[in-house]
Amino acid sequence: MEKFILTPPVAFIIILVATMLLSGLLSKLSFKARRGENASTESYSCGEEGLTPFIQPDYAQFFPFAFFFTILHVTALIITTVPVETLGSLSIAVVYLAGAMTALFILFRK
């Protein structure tokens, strides 16, 4: 019986039911407008009215930095997990490092 409860489908259903019960209990504590109040159904957008245009941020500088961060951290993860004892896996790590360097050169080319 103990192993049956730990199977993924049963554990998922148990967690789903527990989450739904907790959500139902906590919904009683949530804020609700009283009847007759002029409650707005629109979302709050930092005091901006619907007539003003929203600011469109420019991600042109963000994406190269994000790709750089990802490439370096994935490369560090792969290189540090290669076992030193095997020469074959060391050559794979060197090839991976060369690929990462090529990706960085492509990322920052002008």
pLDDT at 19: 96
SS3 108: coil
Domain extents for the chain?
1-28, 61-110
Cα–Cα distances in angstroms (integers) from residue 100 to residues 24, 57, 69, in the given order? 49, 29, 12
**In this predicted structure, what is the pLDDT of residue 76?**
87
Residue 105 confidence (pLDDT): 87
List average pLDDT for each run of 10 residues in the chain, which is 110 residues long: 81 94 89 65 61 68 86 86 74 84 83
The amino acid that residue 20 corresponds to is M
Interatomic CA distance for residues 76 and 71, integer angstroms:
9
Q: Distance between CA atoms of 110 and 99, rounded to whole angstroms? A: 19
Q: What is the pLDDT of residue 22?
A: 95
For residue 38, what pLDDT is reported? 63
- What is the structure's pLDDT at 35? 67
Give the CA diameter of the chain. Answer: 76
pLDDT of residue 39: 59
